[in-house]
Structures are given as structure tokens and as C-alpha cells.
Amino acid sequence: MNLPQGFIKNIHNAFGDNGHLWLNKLPKLVDKISHQWNLSNVQAVPNLSYNFVAFANRPERSGGAAQSTSYSKGKDEEVVLKIGVPNNELASEMAALRLFDGNGAVRLLEEDEENSAFLLERIRPGETLSTLEDDDAATNIAADVMLKLWRPLEPLESRSSLLDVEQQAVQKFIKLTDWFGELKNLRPMFNCGVGPFPEKIISRVEETLPHLFAESSPPCLIHGDLHHFNILSSANQWLAIDPKGVIGNPEYEVGPLLINPMPNFLNGSQPKVRAERRIAILSERLGFPRQRLKDWGLCHAVLSAWWDVSPDGIGGEYSIQCAEIFADI
């Protein structure tokens, strides 16, 4: 198997020895899963990043049932195979896709948790939301997808008739509070300073976050990384891919959208005006106050920069610039 060097480097950097072992067994794993799910013409996508993703075909299931084992002769359906190094985010993604059940998101057709592999429908034409030139239209489409995806957490946990599979799924989801809890390490990493971050931005985020978590809407299951490159066009609707599967405040969902598409959001004309327009649309569509959406946009931009910056203060420039824009709105 001829894997791109960039992909190999990503796996080594992200997963260390576990990643090295996984890469060694990947060819046999692809063969095993292909046989298990009757896949043919398995072709890796050219832009592999942190998971092995491939387009493939399999005989169409008779009746269209995802779990049916009966195939229609002479007919193939297009599918997407995804296999990753076992990790919490991948388990959370599978659990989220299972509960979204094709409502606003790509359909999960098969899953093999033991091998961190799953099979998805292939979306056609599959153009990303970033291809739309009308930013207002793109923002409204993203709002449509959000409203389809979100699932309140309280009913999931309180219903006595909750299915075992849903109970197990809730335990696998990422907590938004854990993500933002990482920011407590920012000042210690820079010897009580803020490194490449503007002091006024970090101070504002530190002051704002407790209020956002204390006063937001009830937590629910959200995508967690919903931006222009993770929303694709299908025949008659737009669908989300690659959900993180996050339990948290639904207002946070606007954060990744507001700083995307990268790098065009900052390279385009008047990004501040565009951000204000997006926030106005999302506030009206989602029913959240504009100020709260601005604050979540700011906090997400800082979190995004924190994930990108190195201990020596290199990286994160794009997201820091976005944070400065939101702080000035």
C-alpha cells in the first residue's frame, strides 16, 4: 500500500508508537474489512490526513436496509470506508453518526468498533459548502444542518426506555467542558504569560467562559466541528460529515463556522463585516442572542489557536487573527 508521506508523518506525530504499529497492519486491515463488508474497487482518497479514507463499491442491499445481508445482483452502491487509529474521537464520531441516523448527516452503514472502522454512504455530488459564493446562503444552509443535527441531552439520559446502544453512546461523547478545560494550561506553558496570544484576548476569554457555560441552553449532542468543508451537497439537501460528537452548549456550534473557510475567511474582503452578517443570520435562525454567538466565536478561535500553537509559541496565527476580529465586533 502506497501511503502519502504527509499522512504517515501525521500518524506518527499524533499517535506515536501506536500509530507506527497501526500503519504496519493497515494493509491487512483494509483487506480484512473489505472482505467483511464485500467491498470492491477500494481507492484511497488523495488527501489523507489522520484517518485512512477510501471510496469503494459494494453490492447494493436489497430493499435498501442498511443491516440487510441480501444483495441485489448486478447493482453496486458507492460507499466510503474510514479506518483510524483507535482513539476516543473516533469512537465518539461513530456514536454520533449512529444517533444522527442520517438526519442532517451522512448515513452510517456499517461499523466495526474493535477495528475502529466504519462504512458511510457516499454523497453525490459532494461539493463542499465552501464552493458557494453567496455567504448568506451558505450561512443559512449551515443553520439548517445544525437544527437537524442537534439532539437534546436530557431526554437521552432521562428516558427510562432508552436503548442500550444510546446509553453506551452517551458515555463515548466528548465533553465541551473538557476541550475548554485545556485552556487552563495556557498560562503555565508560557511561564504565567500568554505566549503569542494578546493578553486582553486571553483575559476576556477567561472572564467570559464561566458565564457562557453557566447561562447557556441545556447541553445537547452537537457536531463539534461544523464548518464549510464538513458540509457536503447531496441530491436534494446538504449533509454533515466528520462529526466530533460533542456534548455541550449548542451555541458553540457556530464557532468553527465563523472562522471558516480557511484561509479565505481572512483573505476575503472585510472579514469583520462578514462575521457580523453571519452572526446576525445565525442569531435569527437559531434563536440565540448575538452577543453570546460573538463570545462563543471568540472563545472557539482561542481554543483553535491553542490546539495549533507549539510550546515555543509558534503557530495559531490564523485563529488568533480571527479572535481579534470577534473581540472587536
Nearest Cα neighbor of 238 from 94, 137, 114, 97 is 137
pLDDT tier at 161 (50, 70, 90 boundaries)? very low
Range of the domain at 265: 130-327
**Does 212 lie in the same domain as 101?**
no
- The torsion of the CA quartet 140, 141, 147, 148, rounded to 10 degrees, works out to 160
> Are 188 and 244 found together in one domain?
yes
SS3 152: strand
Query: 71 and 154, same structural domain?
Result: no
Cβ neighbours of residue 156 under 8 Å, at least 6 residues apart?
162, 166, 170, 221
Q: What are phi and psi of 201, to 5 degrees?
A: -70, -45
Band the pLDDT of 65: cuts 50, 70, 90.
very low
**Residues 228, 96 within the same domain:** no
If asked whether residues 173 and 311 sit together in one domain, one would say: yes
134 and 216 both lie in a single domain: yes
Q: Write b or e for each residue in 119-148: b if 16 or more Cβ atoms lie within 10 A of its Cβ, otherwise e.
A: bbbbbeeeebbbebeebeebbebbbebbeb
Could you report the per-residue pLDDT of 207-236, keeping only the tens digit for each? Answer: 999 999 997 677 799 999 999 999 999 988
Q: Are 268 and 242 in contact, with CB atoms under 8 Å apart?
A: no
pTM above 0.75, yes or no: yes
Looking at the fold, whether 90 and 216 belong to one and the same domain comes out as: no
Same domain, 99 and 143: no
pLDDT tens digits along 279-329? 999 999 999 999 999 999 999 999 999 999 998 999 999 999 999 999 999
Domain boundary among 121, 151, 168: 121
Residue 155 shares a structural domain with residue 100: no
Same-domain pairing of 223 and 193: yes
Q: 84 and 159, same structural domain?
A: no
CA 251 – CA 283 distance, rounded (Å): 9
Listed residue (232, 230, 228) closest to 260, CA to CA = 228
- Number of domains composing the chain: 2
